[in-house]
Amino acid sequence: MADFQYDLVIIGSGPAGEGAAMSAVKQGWSVAVVDERMQVGGNCTHLGTIPSKALRHSVRRMVQFNTMPMFRAVGEPRWFSFPELMQAADEVIRKQVDGRTREYSRNRIRLHVGRATFTDTHEISVKKADHTHETIKGRFFLIATGSSPYHPEDVDFSHPCIFDSDSILKLNRTPRNIIIYGAGVIGCEYASIFAGLETRVELVNTRAGLLSFLDGEISDALSYHLRDLNVNVRNNEEYAKVETRNNGVTMELKSGKRIHAEALLWSNGRSGNTQGMGLETIGLESDSRGQLEVNEHYQTSVSHIYAAGDVVGWPALAGAAYDQGRFAAAHMCGTAREYHVEDVATGIYTIPEISYVGKTEAELTEQQIPYEIGRAYFKNIARAHISGEEVGVLKVLFHQETLEILGVHCFGAEAAEIVHIGQAIMNQEGKANTIEYFIRTTFNYPTMAEAYRIAAINGINRLCRESRKLVV
């Protein structure tokens, strides 16, 4: 007989698990969340999104202090070590855990600490820290276990100079130089962070360019500014072997080059956390990356077992994971509504940051959609002059004939905030989703939001007279 029984049992307390728990409990369901950690929040709070973005914010503040002339009146430039800057991140993590714990408690959601393994399709065994077990039954299950950095077998991650994107948070020094292998989102973000700490960065990219899914102009801007921060970007390179030494790590590339640094950050791929869960017992199978296949309702092939978040792959974003969990729970409860994952805005927290939603120029060209571009450069915006962060551009793509907004791309300070204005207008129905909205709307001045008006006017002026609409 089971020790506990619930309507919904969620494995993992990250964004997907939290979203599902809060959604289901509002429908009057009994809900339990199982996690290996004593503290809620999942990898997002403890290892990924929160600590890395808090660390980036601290580095950005330090760079601002060291580069703005007005601060020289209050002191000389100051440099903080990596561990010192991580202290601010630790405080953010504590606040996040406290807030989430209160929400679970207030909503009467039961937390079980331990590792969950399926024993049949309606039951899991939870192994606790003292090696005892609890048996939990559920009518429905949600697998929201997240993902972990991929570890190739020929790289010794036990060496004190080799890190992945989780273990790098425990770095106890500021290396003078570092190799970052993998120039995806995580690799580029950490390249910015370490460059801000005056660490010489070797960014090894296995592809021809940085973040090829970005609009080409934004990808080019990122490449330029990383190099401007003295990041050495090596494109089209793959490692042949990694050698550890007393004074650091040497990476030999397949091209024959050898590069040496005090530390190596491996950021080339992630795998879903599905190992050892007893999935074979219930007829589920993960792919080669440990990810689970789900349908549009986030159901696995076992209809009462759902999965959401990083464990199902793309888009692997915290905000999207929360919504995936919510909509999975809504489908279980019979209150589901359609969820368009393609409308998710993506934020990349490099320095400067990047955010986008919708189509790129390359996609629109390939689909033979006639589009025009409206741009607003931050160097021409009063708020950017005030903040001293004049590097950046807002780029709005819109249909030449209907003026419908097709894509919004932003590079610069607060890009991840700015993009949501464009996202909101893109998702309007009828004729409300055109670039005319930004011309007819009065924006607060001075604000970064004013960039939309500037970009809209710039774009309309690009249209030839025979297709130009009356917008004033």
Q: Do the annotations mark residue 216 as ligand-binding?
A: no
**pLDDT score recorded for residue 122:** 96
Distance CA 294, CA 301 (A): 7
Last residue of a domain, one of 280, 315, 342: 342
For residues 142 and 291, state if they share a domain: yes
Q: What is the CATH number of the domain that holds 202?
A: 3.50.50.60
Tokens 């005319």 sit on residue: 436
pLDDT score of 146 more than 50: yes
Share in percent of the chain as helix, strand, coil (round to 5): 35, 25, 40
Q: Do the annotations mark residue 310 as ligand-binding?
A: yes
**pLDDT score recorded for residue 340:** 57
Could you tell me if residue 157 is inside a domain? no
Could you tell me if residue 169 is inside a domain? yes
- C-alpha atoms less than 13 angstroms from C-alpha of 411 in its C-beta half-sphere: 19
CB distance 38 to 10 below 8 Å: no
For residues 232 and 328, state if they share a domain: no
Q: Do the annotations mark residue 182 as ligand-binding?
A: yes
For residues 221 and 290, state if they share a domain: no
Q: Do the annotations mark residue 359 as ligand-binding?
A: no
Q: Do the annotations mark residue 219 as ligand-binding?
A: no
Could you tell me if residue 337 is inside a domain? yes
Could you tell me if residue 410 is inside a domain? yes
The reply to whether omega before 352 is within 30° of 0 (cis) is: yes
- Pairing type for strands 147-149 and 162-164 reads unpaired
**pLDDT score recorded for residue 431:** 80
Could you tell me if residue 127 is inside a domain? yes
For residues 187 and 262, state if they share a domain: yes
Bridge partners (DSSP) listed for residue 241? 252
Render pLDDT for 380-408 as a digit per residue (tens, 0 to 9): 999 999 998 999 999 999 999 999 999 99
**pLDDT score recorded for residue 472:** 47
Residue 412's domain spans which residues?
352-465
Q: What are phi and psi of 292, to 5 degrees?
A: -105, 140
Q: Do the annotations mark residue 120 as ligand-binding?
A: no
Q: Do the annotations mark residue 185 as ligand-binding?
A: yes
Q: Do the annotations mark residue 44 as ligand-binding?
A: no
Q: What is the mean pLDDT of residues 291-311?
A: 96
Q: What is the CATH number of the domain that holds 376?
A: 3.30.390.30
* Cα→Cα distances 416→347, 357, 434, Å: 5, 10, 21
Query: What's the mean per-residue pLDDT of the chain?
Result: 93
pTM of the prediction? Answer: 0.93
For residues 186 and 248, state if they share a domain: yes
Closest listed residue to residue 80, CA positions, set 198, 169, 159: 198
What is the total count of domains within the chain?
3
- What percentage of the chain carries pLDDT values higher than 90? 86
Q: What is the mean pLDDT of residues 220-241?
A: 96
Could you tell me if residue 154 is inside a domain? no
Q: Do the annotations mark residue 24 as ligand-binding?
A: no
Last residue of a domain, one of 268, 293, 328: 268
Render pLDDT for 405-421 as a digit per residue (tens, 0 to 9): 999 999 999 999 999 99
For residues 174 and 40, state if they share a domain: no
pLDDT score of 341 more than 70: no
For residues 370 and 457, state if they share a domain: yes
* Cα→Cα distances 344→214, 369, 415, Å: 14, 21, 15
Closest listed residue to residue 403, CA positions, set 322, 335, 470: 470
For residues 419 and 311, state if they share a domain: no
The C-alpha torsion from 307 through 348 and 258 to 83, rounded to 10°, is -90
Q: Do the annotations mark residue 189 as ligand-binding?
A: yes
* Cα→Cα distances 230→194, 206, 245, 391, Å: 10, 19, 25, 17
Q: What is the mean pLDDT of residues 50-66?
A: 91
- Pairing type for strands 4-11 and 177-181 reads unpaired
For residues 296 and 264, state if they share a domain: no
Q: Do the annotations mark residue 41 as ligand-binding?
A: no
**pLDDT score recorded for residue 467:** 59
Could you tell me if residue 472 is inside a domain? no
Q: Do the annotations mark residue 145 as ligand-binding?
A: yes
For residues 143 and 192, state if they share a domain: no
Query: Rounded to the nearest 10 degrees, what angle do helices 318-333 and 15-25 cross at?
Result: 30
* Cα→Cα distances 267→1, 31, 61, 408, Å: 44, 35, 25, 28
Distance CA 389, CA 446 (A): 14
Last residue of a domain, one of 268, 296, 312: 268
Could you tell me if residue 55 is inside a domain? yes
For residues 179 and 260, state if they share a domain: yes
For residues 22 and 142, state if they share a domain: yes
